[in-house]
Amino acid sequence: MKNHLIPLCLLPSGKKAKVKFLTSDGNMRRRMLDLGLINETIVESLQKSPSGNLTAYGIRGAIIALRSEEANKIIVEPNY
C-alpha cells in the first residue's frame, strides 16, 4: 500500500518499512538522526520485549532498541 504511513511502533515484528519523516524535535530528533533514521532509511521490526515497551529494530546493519514513545515519533511507509 503506497502512501499508507504509520508510526514505527505499529510496524509488526518481521516487517520492513522506509522512514518518511520524524515528528520529534530537540535532543530526541538529534538522537534519531544520529542513529541513521533519515528519509528513505529501511527499518525492520525485529522483536518486542515481554513488557511491550521496548522493540528491537534493525537499522543500517545495527540493532537498536527503542521505547514505544520514541518509535511513535518515527513515521514510516510499510511494505515499501
**66: which residues sit within 8 A by CB, 6+ positions away?**
8, 54, 55, 57, 74
Number of domains in the chain: 1
For 10-68, write each residue's pLDDT tens digit.
Answer: 999 999 999 999 999 999 999 999 999 999 999 999 999 998 789 999 999 999 999 99
Q: What is the CATH number of the domain that holds 21?
A: 2.30.30.90
Q: What is the pLDDT of residue 79?
A: 82
Q: What is the pLDDT of residue 52?
A: 79
**59: which residues sit within 8 A by CB, 6+ positions away?**
35, 36, 37, 41, 43
CA 1 centroid distance within chain: 18
Q: Which domain holds residue 71?
A: 6-78
pTM: 0.89
Q: Please report whether residue 1 resides in a domain.
A: no
